[in-house]
Amino acid sequence: MHSSSKSSFDPLFWMSSILCLMVTLYGLANIMPAIGDFRLGPFPMVFFRATFFGLCILVVTLGILQNYRKGKANGWLALTSVVLAVALVVCCVSFYNISIMLDDGMFLFDNEQMWIALIAASGSLFYCWRIWGAPVALLGIVGILYMATGHWWPGPLKTINTGVAETLAQNLLYSLDSGILGSTFSIVITTVFPFIILGSVLESVGAGNSMIRIAFSLMKGTAGGPAHAAVLSSGLFGTVSGSAVGNVVGTGVVTIPMITKRGFSPNFAGAVEAAASTGGQIMPPIMGAAALVMADFVGVSYLTVIIAVLVPAIAYYGSLFAMIIFESRKLGIKANDEIAGIEQPTRQDYLNLLLIFLPIGLIVALLIYGLSPSGASISALALLFPLSLINPAVRAKPIKLLQSLCDGGKTFSGLLMAIAAVSIVISALSATGVPVKFGILLTSFVTDSLLVSLLLAAFCCIVLGMGMPTLPAYVTVATIAIPAMEQLGLAPLTAHMFVFFIAIGSAITPPVAIAAFAAASISGGGPIGTSVQASKVGIMIFIIPFTFAFNPLLLTVGAAGVEFDLLSWSWLLIKLAIGIALTATALSGFHAHKLRHYEIAARLAAAIMLFAPGALWDQLGMGLALVLWFWHLRNDLKFMPRTKRIEKGSV
């Protein structure tokens, strides 16, 4: 009886939940729009940043203590986290006090502020390492070491010595422009935070399972069946969650077993789900956190970003459908109207879709009207709370809504640790002038070759994105590579969109493909095999960025650096569709029948010509594509058994 009573009340759980709720309400209050003369926020900038970061630190620490209580963390780790939490709270107080002094006049940083800044950076990197793994934390460590020792480095890597104490103190902590609590922190709080809370509430109101059942119902008559349903449901779910791994876990537990039952291999089943879930971060209108930050970095409205990404996002999901179609043909899988284990959608399932589409529609309408992204997301959140009562499950247990706010606060507190590490990297790059030096070296090395510049940026994105969340990978590479890309003639929006796409694609790129690994754990396939298959299935997430880098008209908006022309834009869409079909058949090795090696090579060559800019390449690519297509269908008809030719009306 005693143990039962003890298990029913967990003080750590309740403390963590209360703190998570405080983080959510405090963050929303700071950006809440005015209602008449009534307004909760914004709070004084210095005070809010210090207190909000301190609350998030306490949330993460309680999470580690909960893991210790469950046996998932050792005692030394728990003790270290508590000590660092206390130290970081002291650092937040110091940040507030010194910032007030800086407002009043000049202040000279000494060794005391340097050590406080180093403690703040070390604590932030510790929590980042615990939550997101070593890659992001190691980048932060390298950034600190470079700031401290850059004046000793040789050649172009040498920096100006302005004093180690002042450099570290100001660039790590005591600045509203750079450092852990700097401008990146501000952008994430004011723009990304409300969308994360909205996504958390959207996931909790019960529309996810309804979307899956409806997607399976719509796709049950196709050969790919569950695989097509996985793409459709992951695209819809992904625009809500904005997280590749969260998308895999949320929809993959249902879709992946169904895909394998249809006859696809476990590796392919996991690959389809991983590729579709990864694409959720480019699916408007909510997308991933990096898209919101991109709008601030580029200086355009979030609506402009949504319009720009619309065609590439649709093209990417179209490529996934194409890959499934030709894979099912190769395996000889036929259409089957019945999908075992999935209930038919009910009237309530279709009603639940209102919980997704009405808030999303409101966001789009308010963005068109001119409201800020944070204002639009808060308005959608205000609509969603009463609207969620149309779901009987929410009416029966309305505390789910409160739990979703707690989950949102917990999720954001973890994300903020990655942002703190990335802010350290950005500060190191800004303080040492690395982006400018990199741009000069790159432009002199590639001699005005945009392709080489894009390849280098893509390589950096993939390497840095291994095991990292999309937002840190995007911000880090954008800081280093985009100035050089802009010098070679790319418009800021196009350059940022390029890095954004590649950073998202790193979630399915071996050897550390976090989305593919999550899918493999469900499918039972090999992690590396699944990630290789996912890279093949989702290959267009790497090709499409090169396409719109050389053909910015594909992004539709004027901010991409080109004036919109309907005829040229339509021709681009035709080329893209044919290129996707050629790539899908080549990588599947199957069209109407199995392709020979030279046919695969020729199709890939034709696709590359269509993706490349220039009228000559267009003509060559289109001509080769038509020849290959009709030649293949002619051979298929020639060698088809006579009975089948009669059925097709050819005899």
Closest CA to 202 of 250, 138, 146, 254: 250
pLDDT at 422: 84
pLDDT at 643: 45
Query: Tens digit of pLDDT for each residue in 463-515?
Result: 776 667 777 778 877 877 787 788 778 899 999 999 899 888 888 888 778 88
Question: Among all chains, which residue has been given the structure tokens 């090795």?
Answer: 589
Q: Which tens digits make up the pLDDT trace of 572-588?
A: 999 999 999 999 999 99
What is the mean pLDDT of the segment spanning 8-24? 81
Query: What's the pLDDT band for 651 if we cut at 50, 70, 90?
Result: very low
Q: Quote the pLDDT of residue 215.
A: 82
Residue pLDDT, tens place only, 28-78: 888 776 544 445 667 788 889 999 999 999 999 999 998 888 888 788 889
Measured CA to CA, the distance from residue 170 to residue 174 in angstroms comes to 5
Using a 10 angstrom Cβ sphere, with 0-12 exposed, 13-18 middle and 19 or more buried, the burial of residue 143 is buried
- pLDDT of 356 strictly over 90: no
Distance between CA atoms of residues 132 and 136, nearest Å: 7
pTM here is 0.82
* Residue 303: C-alpha distances to residues 226, 239, 281, 306, 307 (Å): 33, 15, 15, 5, 6
Are residues 419 and 185 in contact, defined by beta-carbon separation less than 8 angstroms? yes
Least confident of 32-36, 60-64, 195-199, 359-363: 32-36
- Look at residue 647 in the predicted model and tell me its pLDDT: 46
Q: For residues 168 and 115, what is the distance between their CA atoms, to the nearest angstrom? A: 9
Residue 641 has pLDDT above 60, yes or no: no
- The yes-or-no verdict on residue 155 having pLDDT over 80 is no
List the chain domain ranges. 14-173
- The total number of residues shown for the chain amounts to 651
pLDDT tens for each residue of 98-125 = 888 877 666 678 889 999 999 999 999 9
Between 304 and 422, where is the model more confident?
Answer: 304
The answer, yes or no, to whether residue 337 has pLDDT greater than 70, is: no
On the question of pLDDT at 633 being above 90, the answer is no
Nearest to 567 by CA among 558, 577, 575, 559: 575
Query: Is 84 a residue whose pLDDT tops 90?
Result: yes
Phi–psi pair at 258, nearest 5 degrees: -65, -35
d(C-alpha 572, C-alpha 577), whole Å? 9
- Confidence at 7, pLDDT banded by 50, 70, 90: very low
H helical segments located in 346-449: 347-352, 354-369, 373-387, 392-396, 399-432, 434-446
